[in-house]
Amino acid sequence: MNTLSLTPGPAKLVRSKDWVNFHCLKCGQCCRDLENVVMVESLDAYRIARYLREHGQPDMEMALFYERYTSPMLLVEGYPVMMMNAPGPDHACAFLDNNRCSIYPARPWACRQYPISVGPGSRGKDFEWYLSLDRPFHLTGGKVLVKDWIYQNFPHEEREFLLREYDASIQIAKCLKAMDDVAREQCLKQIIYFRYIFYDLDDPFLPQYDRNLRALLQQLG
């Protein structure tokens, strides 16, 4: 199970030294047709909730963010993920406003990386990189060096978070696979709570993530 596959549809493996064609047209098309497309990880929600709290929604917290802006989806073995709502015309993102992202400084990691996505690495590599091919009209114009794109859009906190996520997903999936359907369903609320809700927006993210994962694995174990 890879909870971090962020670019649906066709994609090709690229290397950090590769050049790819990409030029942002500021057309808003990458923010449309997003029903069940953009996964909102806990780090995304934490950043967006903090941004919203500072920009007109002072009551914002993690639970409220997920309630207002996301919908749950069950993956293999009943593993819950949160998907960004796309309530606008053409299934546009909830945060698309006049063809512009209204939360751009805190936009989800998948959006920041586009048209590049990341997956677990192999042969000693932490990550592998993929170029999304599902909207080829974006892959024109200027050239972008993949290494530079990664450097600009994949900071240290994301790297640390994703490495933890890969390992956590495997551990949680193993626990769920060992359960029957009734036990798995009973654990669903615990998984959602510790994976997505139990965060204080005033405290650093990663220490809370580590605490939540330990608590969840103890509950599932």
pLDDT at 9 over 80: no
Write out pLDDT tens, residues 144-185.
Answer: 999 999 999 898 999 999 999 999 988 998 888 888 888 888
Would you say residue 44 lies in a domain?
Answer: yes
**Mean pLDDT value of segment 136-141:** 78
The structural domain count of the chain equals 1
The pTM of this model reads: 0.89
| CA proximity to 125, closest of 152, 144, 150 | 150
Would you say residue 91 lies in a domain?
Answer: yes
pLDDT at 6 over 60: no
Would you say residue 4 lies in a domain?
Answer: no
Mean pLDDT of the chain: 89
User: Using N-to-C axis directions, what is the helix angle for 156-177 and 181-192, rounded to 10°?
Assistant: 160
**pLDDT recorded at residue 106:** 96
Whether residue 92 contacts residue 34, with contact meaning beta carbons closer than 8 Å, is answered with yes
Would you say residue 2 lies in a domain?
Answer: no
Would you say residue 179 lies in a domain?
Answer: yes
Residue ranges making up the domain that contains 192: 11-220
Would you say residue 6 lies in a domain?
Answer: no
